[in-house]
A and B are shown apart, each in its own frame.
Chain A
Amino acid sequence: GEKVEQHESTLSVREGDSAVINCTYTDTASSYFPWYKQEAGKSLHFVIDIRSNVDRKQSQRLIVLLDKKAKRFSLHITATQPEDSAIYFCAARTNSAGNKLTFGIGTRVLVRP
C-alpha cells in the first residue's frame, strides 16, 4: 500500500520567513494530496490540497508543489506568522483506495518572533 514519508520532524523559522515541509510517497497511482494542520490541543483541519493534474497551487500564503516524477510534494508557508505554529500533516490518496488517506508522521513548525 501507499507510504508517505514526511522529511522534517520539526522546523523552526523566524516570523516573516518561509517554512517548507517536504513529503514523498511511494504509489505512482496517488492522485490527491491534502495537507492538514493541528494546533496544540486541537484536532486536524484541512488547509490546502493539490491534485495530480497540476504541479502548483496557491491559497493566500500557502503554496503546494507537486513533482510526480520524483513522487514528492511540498508545502510552502510564506511570510510566516505566530499563528502558523502547529503540526502539519501531509497525506496521499490513490483512486484505487477510495477515499482512504495515508498520512505522514507530521512536522512541528515553530514560528519564532
Chain B
Amino acid sequence: NAGVIQTPRHKVTGKGQEATLWCEPISGHSAVFWYRQTIVQGLEFLTYFRNQAPIDDSGMPKERFSAQMPNQSHSTLKIQSTQPQDSAVYLCASSLTGDEQYFGPGTRLTVL
C-alpha cells in the first residue's frame, strides 16, 4: 500500500498560468478530500468526493478553482489564472469510512 500519492510534489507557475494537481487515493477508499495549507490560514477544506461524486465544494474559491474525480483512482484540482495568494501546500486525503483520513505528501505550489 503506497498510501495517497500526489503529483507533482512541487510546482512553480507564473502569475496567470494554469496549475493542475493530481491525487491518487488509497485503493478501495471511497472518499477523497482536498485541503490547502498555509502558514497564515492553516488547513482549509476545499472539496470532497464520495464514490467519485462531488459532495461538498464549499471551500473552493468559485471562480478559478475546479476539482474532478473522473475515476476511482484519481482526482485532479485545477487552478486557472494562478495568483500569488494561491501559493500553498495542497493536500489530498482519502478515507475508507469518512472518519480517519489518510493524507498524501502534498503538492507545494509556488506562484511567482
What residues make up the interface of A, taking CB atoms closer than 8 Å to B? Answer: 32, 34, 36, 42-46, 49, 89, 97-106
Contacts and interface: CB of A to CB of B under 8 A. Distances in A.
Given A44-B91, A99-B33, 14 more contacts: A34-B101, A42-B105, A43-B91, A43-B105, A44-B43, A98-B48, A99-B31, A99-B55, A100-B56, A100-B58, A101-B33, A101-B45, A102-B45, A103-B43
B73 to A, nearest CB: 20
B101 A46 contact: yes
Contacts of B55: 98-99
A49 B100 contact: yes
Nearest to A47: B100
Interface residues of B, number: 24
A43 B106 contact: yes
A73 to B, nearest CB: 16
Contacts of B105: 42-43
A64 B31 CA distance: 25
Interface in B36-91: 42-45, 48, 50, 55-56, 58-59, 91
